Chains A and B, each alone.
Chain A
Amino acid sequence: MSIKYRKTRAVLADVCTVEEAEGLLEWLTATPKAKVDLAAASHLHMAVLQALLATRPRVVAPPKDEFLARWVMPILEPENQGEVST
């Protein structure tokens, strides 16, 4: 498992696979003030990203991975609520 769950913080590392999306979503919905640490994540499966987008936890550590940092992180920022595509 590349996601480790602490008290209020989920630490995502390496490649987070499709199998982990559901667990993450459950944890995120069940944990008040849930935070995520993406620093060590090298890739998120799209389902994992969806789990984050649907629940919008605070990202305490942005990903170091270049692709994630540049293109994915912006939509996880609090001010960007993720618009619905036309």
Chain B
Amino acid sequence: MNKLLEQFLLEARDLVEQVEEKLLALEGAPGDTALIGELFRLVHTIKGNSGLLGFEVLVRVAHAAEDLLDGVREGRLEYHSELADDLLSAVDFVRRLLDEIEAKEGIPARFQDEAGELAACLRARLPAAQDDGARLGTVASQVSPATDWSWLMKLSESLREAAFAAGAQSGHLLAVRYVPEPDCFFKGEDPLFTVRNTPGLVGLAISMREPWPGPENLDIYRANLVFNLLSAAPHDDVAEHFRYVPEQVHLYDLPVEALALPTGNLDDGHVHRDFVLNARRRLTKGDRPGLEQAVANMLETVNPDLWVASALRWMRRLLSIQAENAVVEALLIAIEEQQAPDWQALLGERLVADDQSSVQLRQKDEQPPQAPKRQLSEVEEALWTRILDTQRRILNLPVPAAQWAGQLAAITATLSGLYRYQGDERKLAALEEAASRAEREKTFAPLSALLGAPAPSDSVSTPTMVEAEPKPIEPAVMTQAPRPSTGASREGAEVKSDRRDEDGSADKSVKVLKVSQEKVDRLMELIGEMVVAKNALPYLAARAENVFGSRELSREIKAQYTVINRIAQEMQDAIMQVRMLPVGAVLQRFPRLVRDVAKNLEKEVRLVVEGEDTEADKNIIEALADPLIHIVRNSLDHGIEPPEMRQAAGKPREGQLSIRARQEGDRVLIEVTDDGKGIDPEMVKRKAFEKGLIDEARLEAMSDQEAIQLVFLPGFSTAETISDLSGRGVGMDVVRTAMDKMGGAVRLISEKGRGTTVILDLPLSMAVSHVMMVQYAGQNFGVPMDYVVETVRVAAGDIHTFEDRQIAVLRGRVVSLHGLDKLLHLADVPRPNADGEHAVLVVRVGGDTMGLLVDGFSQTIDVILKPLEGPLAGLRGIAGTALLGDGSILLVLNLKELI
């Protein structure tokens, strides 16, 4: 993605967030003119930026919103909550567009309609007298139709020829007369930019609307140009492109023949009479080949600068597209009279008459029959582009001669697989051809051309991609994993090392760097590798002493290790600080969420947010978003009662929902509290029993607080009716799973009739994990220290087998034992030591204490846990891997999944 686009996205997201914030604030203080002014300014900036980059869809929505806000600002319109709803949905739409832009570097055409509807919906709120409303959609063009086609003469013959070829190929040409309104610059428009990006642009003539006044009267900011342009793109595409300024353009079909305007020096026309007579005879006889030959012969004899030569060239072109006799005849007459034909008079009327039918017919002809192509899903498409990108990169890497042929075969195979999957016969054929050409010519260029990549150049002539690319070639594992598409990652996309001022005055020069997430992640990865590399030094020291017998060298290595270790740790701390994000980053979306949901449920809710400044690692903050939304929705849906019910219960009509974040040691605690109806333990028990989640014995023995925890069981839902928001049986267990994944925990406290509190307990960072290594089957396995309770040795005789299960009594408690062989489905039975004692790692998993039978224990270490990727990602029971100092790989177990 180019820098400009990147910057645009960063800025736009920031602006959109501010807009949302202000919109919500405005609802609380509808008369705040300063706020409205600020909002207007923000929306205006979004519009301007989008226009600059040519995102017309964005501009349209932003423009409509801007008009609406303008109405509010000038008091023509009252700000109320329905208006806010519309504006907020526009905000959502803009967010989606930004996501699209980020993913595809452009906005797919399918958003056009939605943008139109949204803009119309927004504009509909403006007072009817406002003529702005008419600016949309079916506005009649205010531009008078071009009086003549003479502007075509301003294009040189070669330009017209190119347009002619393009028009002949696409089957039609569309002319556009674009007269920008005089004050268009003040609306942030750049007509020249619009013109430049016209789809299928094949011709453009610029002229002045009025002569330039003298320098003293000249107003440079008054648009005074008229554009006449030609496009070979379909009518709809061009209309779409100018959709934003429909009243300033006039579109009309132009027959390609109209481009046949001879230019050049005139000579004595009589010289060509013989030719004309001859040509006319052949034309009437239908002898086109003969005519063509005559034209070619004639062309060889005349000076190419002459007008007649130009006319002959045009005749040849017209013959090549099988132009009608009348058209050719017109040109013959023109040669006789030495005057360009008046195509408008000749063809203009015909065009009006058969406009519709011919255009339709031509379009039909144009599309060759094709086997249906497979539609790629979004995921497939993302993968698809990634694979293609990779091939492009490979094509641009220098290849040793010996590997060249293999490389070519590999790329061809990959590409043909891709196209075959899609069923794209055309591309397949093109690929085959390109591959054989590449083989013959010993160059990748044909393939590059097929993929649309810059052709690989010799390393000397121009800097190749290899040099330009700052990234070193990395092993496959290091390449970026696809980013999760959860909403959370958006907020995380920008890491701010400083927070915005409370009042949002962005104008002050703040010393904040906006760094893209990838850069920080890359730094993080490098430091991770550094830690691993550093851990190899103690091994080296041991070797120096044991293998080479140099104790002194060993000591020196150890001393160096201490220094490097310290620096590495400081680096790690420093990068952690950069990755820290305030919890506010996820909390800021909640005012909106609560407002919308509460409105939907017809409840009155006040949201209190505290401790937004509490910081935690970016990954944690991101992963927090979804569980939090779940919890908040639950509270709104099931917790807080409707106003009437609350009044009846003697509570204020307005319910209160508070989200409080705070740091405790190396943990972050987030409490979501509501003062709603709370959870009825009896009902929970009954439900759990009905669903068969607990048995009768447990039902009796359970305390109220224990019962409440049952809501975390999978498949449990307390909602009486399934609502739009929650209560589909995927409730709190999802939250618990999410917390487990990031090494956190969730607790629930509830009192019937008084309210519910959900406490999320999270680590500050999950980049470094503390694990205990255990030995089993000749290798080490890691167990996260969070689970480990103690390590004990149990004599074989103290292990009892009871109904297929092994148990032992430890510290007066019965603990079930699990052999790692059973859990991992391996054959090796854990071996006791020489004294006949088994090594048992006592762990606490999900509230249950149990023992793991292993061969022995090793030390505990800090590791950077890498999740399994690719096909291995689905593997259960393994939390991830870590690289040890001696280069071996440690598998870290996920006990929750194993047991």
Q: Which residues of A are at the interface with B, using a C-beta cutoff of 8 A? A: 18, 21-22, 25, 29, 43-47, 49-51, 53-55, 67, 70-72, 74-75, 82-86
Say if the beta carbon of B159 comes within 8 Å of chain A.
yes
B223 interface residue, CB < 8 Å from A? yes
* Residue contacts A-B, CB under 8 angstroms, 5 given: A22-B220, A54-B212, A74-B154, A75-B206, A75-B207
B residues 403-436 with Cβ under 8 Å of A?
none
B111 interface contact, C-beta 8 A: no
Chain A proximity mask over B778-816: 1 for CB below 8 Å, otherwise 0: 000000000000000000000000000000000000000
Q: Mark B499-528, 1 if CB is under 8 A from A, else 0.
A: 000000000000000000000000000000
How many A-B residue pairs have C-beta atoms within 8 angstroms? Tell me: 74
Q: Say how far B241's CB is from chain A's closest CB, in angstroms.
A: 15
B147: nearest residue on chain A (CB-CB)?
A86
- In the assembled complex, which residues on chain A have CB atoms less than 8 Å from the CB atom of B218? 25, 54
CA distance A49 to B204 in the complex (A): 15
Residue of B nearest to A50 (CB): B220
Q: Tell whether, in the assembled complex, residue B192 and residue A86 are in contact, meaning their CB atoms are under 8 Å apart.
A: no
Known A18-B185, A70-B159, A75-B206: A45·B192 in contact at CB below 8 Å: yes
Min CB–CB distance A1 → chain B (angstroms)? 16
Closest to B204 in A: A71
Least CB separation from A18: chain B residue: B185
Interface presence of B221 (CB below 8 A): yes
20 additional contacts (CB under 8 A) given A21-B221, A74-B154, A84-B208: A18-B190, A18-B221, A21-B220, A43-B196, A45-B192, A45-B193, A46-B180, A49-B192, A49-B206, A51-B220, A53-B208, A54-B218, A55-B215, A71-B204, A71-B206, A72-B192, A82-B207, A83-B207, A83-B208, A85-B228
Other-chain contact of B207, A25, A72, A84 (Cβ < 8 Å): A84
Q: Is B466 part of the contact surface with A, judged by Cβ < 8 Å? A: no
A45 touching B190, Cβ below 8 Å: yes
A63 to B207, CA, bound (A): 19
B224 within 8 A of A: yes
**B206 and A47 contacting across the interface, CB-CB below 8 Å:** no
B209 at the interface (CB under 8 A from A): yes
- Contact of B211 with A by CB under 8 A: yes
A85 touches B208 (CB 8 A): yes
Within B178-204, which residues are at the interface with A (CB < 8 Å)? 180, 185, 190-193, 196, 204
B192 adjacent to A84 (CB under 8 Å): no
Give the residues in chain A near B208, CB-CB below 8 Å. Answer: 53, 82-85
- Docked complex Cα distance between A75 and B156 (Å): 12
Chain B: CB-nearest residue to A67: B196
A50 touches B206 (CB 8 A): no
Whether B226 pairs with A46 at a CB distance below 8 angstroms is no
Asked if B556 CB lies within 8 Å of chain A CBs, one says no
Look across to chain B and name the residue whose beta carbon is closest to the beta carbon of A24. Answer: B220
Contact with A along B278-291 (1 / 0, CB 8 A): 00000000000000
Residue numbers in A under 8 Å from B886 (CB-CB): none
- Contact of A47 with B204 in the complex, beta carbons under 8 Å: no
- Bound CA span A54–B207, Å: 12
Determine if B185 and A46 form an interchain contact, defined as CB atoms under 8 angstroms apart: yes
Inter-chain CA distance A70–B221, complex, in Å, is 25
On chain A, the residues within 8 Å of B223 by CB distance are: 46-47, 50
Distance from A67 Cβ to chain B, minimum over Cβ atoms (Å): 5
Does B575 sit within 8 A of A, measured CB to CB?
no
CB distance from A42 to the nearest CB of B (A): 10
Docked complex Cα distance between A75 and B208 (Å): 10
Asked if B210 lies at the interface with its beta carbon under 8 angstroms from chain A, I say: yes
Find out whether the CB atom of B215 lies under 8 angstroms from the CB atom of A29.
Answer: yes
> By the criterion CB–CB under 8 Å, are B159 and A46 in contact?
no
Q: Decide if B225 is an interface residue (CB 8 Å cutoff).
A: yes
Q: How far is the CA of A43 from the CA of B191 in the complex (A)?
A: 12
Q: Which residues of A contact B180 (CB under 8 A)?
A: 46
Cβ contacts under 8 Å, A29 to chain B: 215
Is B897's beta carbon under 8 Å from chain A?
no
Q: Does B148 contact A (CB under 8 A)?
A: yes
A51 to B221, CA, bound (A): 9
Instruction: Say yes or no: B225 contacts A46, CB within 8 Å.
Output: yes
A50 to B196, CA, bound (A): 16
B residues less than 8 Å from A43 (CB atoms): 192-193, 196
